[in-house]
Chains A and B, each alone.
Chain A
Amino acid sequence: MSMLEVDRLTVAFPAPAGPERAVRDVSFELERGETLGIVGESGCGKSMTALALMGLLPEGTDTQGGITLNGRDLRTLDEEAMCRVRGNAIAMVFQEPMTSLNPVRAIGKQVVEPLMLHLGLDRGQAKVETLSLLERVGLVDPRRFYAAYPHQLSGGQRQRAMIAMALSCRPEVLIADEPTTALDVTVQGQILDLIRDAVGESRMSLILISHDLGVIAETVDRVIVMYGGAVVEQGPTWDVFTRLAHPYTRGLFAAMPRLGEGRRRLRTIPGTVPELADLPTGCTFADRCSLARETCHSQPPDMRPVGESHSAACLRLDAATATPSFGSRR
């Protein structure tokens, strides 16, 4: 049994035009020490999947399916029990550290909190631990950062503080939702290295959520591609990025300008993402797909094997993989 198992997770929000199904039948497993990436465009359900794992979805949300951590179903836990899991066994790093840090409390005070709450350390022990954590995430001169307030830090330093907080209770799963999107490209590299090292050192599992295919390619072993709330392709990063089985994955790659490719014209995916309240009956990508046939519009596709532990949800998989892959070009 895997450490984390997500089984047919479905999240729907009540909306005037009918429930918006933000996540539909998402299933995946995560082993200890494994790194998993979730990639997709805005509104594809990647962040909602993360919030569901953390038990942080807004009230009134209709959640179905199972989330099992070490054999324990997190969905059956009450709020008090979930509080003991959140920040302890599963920790999360958010995109914009300025909005997720408390602006009126010093950084040190905020890192101390989970240590006292979850590990039961007293204030003195917690402070010693916090100073070593701050140093570990690259905030040299930890005493200065302990007393500093979030506004006194740069974006990269704030994200380091967030990571210190997330690592404080030695979580089994670290979820990082677009951790470097708000940062400069040079700082992005530092933060990704930090996350990768922290995960490697302590045999944590990582779920990295990003819209940036490059960030995903450089950081994780396995990748899930999401579109319109559902998984369209998953497999080992290298396999997925070289074979590009699903037409949407191909479209994403072709649409992305890549360094060193000059002024070669970009291929685009026509149209826009579907409305979550009004999803097509068949494949959600069918309206934008050049390979779509009649059946694609009427019949939802199931996951089909592409290679070893690599699968894609597409009825026209044979046609899609018959054309040369964009992934092979440089």
Chain B
Amino acid sequence: MTFPNPPVVDADGLTRHYMLPRESLTAAPQRVFALNRVSLTVRAGRSLGVVGESGCGKSTLARCVMALEPLTAGTLRILGKDPHAMRSRALRRHRQNFQMIFQDPFGSLDPRHTVGRIVSEPLEAAEKRLGPDERRGRVREVLEAVGLRGADMSKYPHEFSGGQRQRIAIARALTTRPALIVADEPVSALDVSVRAQVLNLLRDLQDRYGVTYLLISHDLSAVEYACHQIAVMYMGRIVEYGSTEAILADAAHPYTRALLDAVPRSSPERRRARTTLKGAVPSPTEIVSGCPFAARCPLVEPRCRLQAPEWREVMPGHGAACHLV
């Protein structure tokens, strides 16, 4: 008998709009609709991959889930508690439950701090009661968990390669033993051979510690490898959601199919004429009345431009926002 794991992330209608600076005194203020009513659930020990082109709102989603940015509307619960509704001291304590890994392992580690200090910093903020020995023990433990040595504690970031630095960033995210790790393009800056090492590591850590991942990436093959569920975003909305197998085998939304089709394949016998999408993502400063993808969709119909599509289930747990589903 299996019970569904409890949700670690429960997001309902997350919306984030930015005000743009006025072009002139009399001009109407413009807004960027970065995130529009995004709802999702990630259960304990599972991983959700969020994919989409640049500007689709996937990084904004990550920052809102991490409570690094305020929400315009919507509610978020991490382990049942809303970080956006917390005062700063309570939020700081709550943060030990959710940590983040960034894309660039060169920019995200302070070059003047030792690895030991970098990795123990979240502990100092979250668990003040830990003594220095316990703290050092914890740092050693996570460094070893990510495949580095305890002796690396006294070294500085510049002494490590890109892949090793990303391991340090992962170790830092693990020190507080979080339930959730939000990773924004964690392997995009890494070379192929190192990328595989880090992807394997992320999965091993999940098997060992039961961490939940929210993984943001433009790389569909990395997401397929690392995630149980996939959410496809377009212009600040989730346009398709489902299990990785369902999305890969039977994508329902034309945008998802175009994204999958655009990935170059390395078997030359499959050199093919791909169905390339025309144009790029339109400007997110306007709310379109119809389907946001209508302007680039190869299957567009008149109703798509007039009426926003509703969410439809293809199968239990797999749905898409498209009239043609």
* Chain A interface residues (CB < 8 Å from chain B): 41-42, 154-157, 184-190, 192-193, 211-218, 237-238, 241-242, 251-269, 272-273, 327, 330
Instruction: State whether A186 touches B199 (Cβ < 8 A).
Output: no
Whether B192 pairs with A256 at a CB distance below 8 angstroms is: yes
Cβ contact within 8 Å between B54 and A184: yes
A289 to B264, CA, bound (A): 28
Is B276 located at the chain interface by the 8 A CB criterion? Answer: yes
State whether A241 touches B266 (Cβ < 8 A): yes
B196:A272 contact, CB within 8 angstroms:
no
Given A184-B218, A218-B271: A269 touches B193 (CB 8 Å cut-off) = yes
Closest to A267 in B: B196
Provide the B262-306 mask, 1 if CB < 8 A to any CB of A, else 0.
111111110100101100110000000000000000000000000
Interface window among B4-12, B74-82, B113-121, B219-227: B219-227
Are A186 and B53 in contact, with the CB atoms below 8 A?
Answer: yes
Q: Please, which residues of chain A bring their CB within 8 A of the CB of B38?
A: none
Q: How far is the CA of A42 from the CA of B106 in the complex (A)?
A: 15
Within the complex, which residue of A155, A187, A217, A257 is in contact with B267, where a contact is CB–CB below 8 Å?
A: A217
Contacts of B277 in A (CB 8 A): 186, 189-190
**Which B residues form the contact surface with A (CB < 8 A)?**
53-54, 161, 163-164, 191-197, 199-200, 203, 218, 220-222, 224-225, 244-245, 248, 258-260, 262-269, 271, 274, 276-277, 280-281
Pick the most buried of A192, A263, A267: most chain B CB atoms within 10 A of its CB: A263
- B-chain residues with CB within 8 Å of residue A42 when the two chains form the complex: 191
Q: Determine if B259 and A255 form an interchain contact, defined as CB atoms under 8 angstroms apart.
A: no
Given the known inter-chain contacts A184-B53, A251-B193, A260-B248, please indicate yes or no for A266 contacting B200, CB distance below 8 A: yes
CA distance A272 to B274 in the complex (A): 35
Bound: A327/B268 CA distance, A: 10
User: Would you give 15 A-B contacts (Cβ < 8 Å), ordered by A?
Assistant: A154-B280, A186-B262, A189-B262, A189-B276, A237-B268, A252-B193, A253-B266, A256-B195, A259-B220, A259-B221, A266-B199, A267-B196, A268-B193, A269-B196, A273-B191
A155 to B218, CA, bound (A): 16
B263 lies within 8 A of A185 (CB)? yes
B255: nearest chain-A partner, CB-CB: A186
CA distance A114 to B276 in the complex (A): 31
Q: Are B263 and A256 in contact (CB under 8 A)?
A: no
Distance in angstroms from A85 CB to nearest chain B CB is: 32
Interface of A is mostly: helix
Among A157, A187, A242, A259, contact of B263 (Cβ-Cβ < 8 Å): A259
Which residue of A has the minimal Cβ distance to B197? A268
Residue from the set B224, B245, B264 with the largest chain A CB neighbour count within 10 Å: B264
B221 touching A41, Cβ below 8 Å: no
Q: Judging by beta carbons under 8 Å apart, are A258 and B54 in contact?
A: no
Q: How far is the CB of A286 from chain B (nearest CB, A)?
A: 15
Q: What is the chain A residue whose CB lies nearest that of B272? A: A218
Whether A258 contacts B221 by the Cβ 8 Å rule is yes
Contacts of A330 in B (CB 8 A): 267
Closest partner residue, chain B, to A188 (CB atom)? B262
- Selected contact of B196 from candidates A211, A257, A259, A263, CB within 8 Å: A257
Contacts of B194 in A (CB 8 A): 272
- Asked if B265 contacts A218 (CB within 8 A), the reply is yes
List the B side residues contacting A259 at CB < 8 Å. 220-221, 224, 248, 260, 263, 265
Contacts of A189 in B (CB 8 A): 262, 264, 274, 276-277
Residues in B neighbouring A184, C-beta threshold 8 A:
53-54, 218, 280-281
**Contact present for A217 and B199 (CB under 8 Å):** no
- Do A261 and B280 form a contact, CB below 8 Å, given A41-B192, A185-B259? no
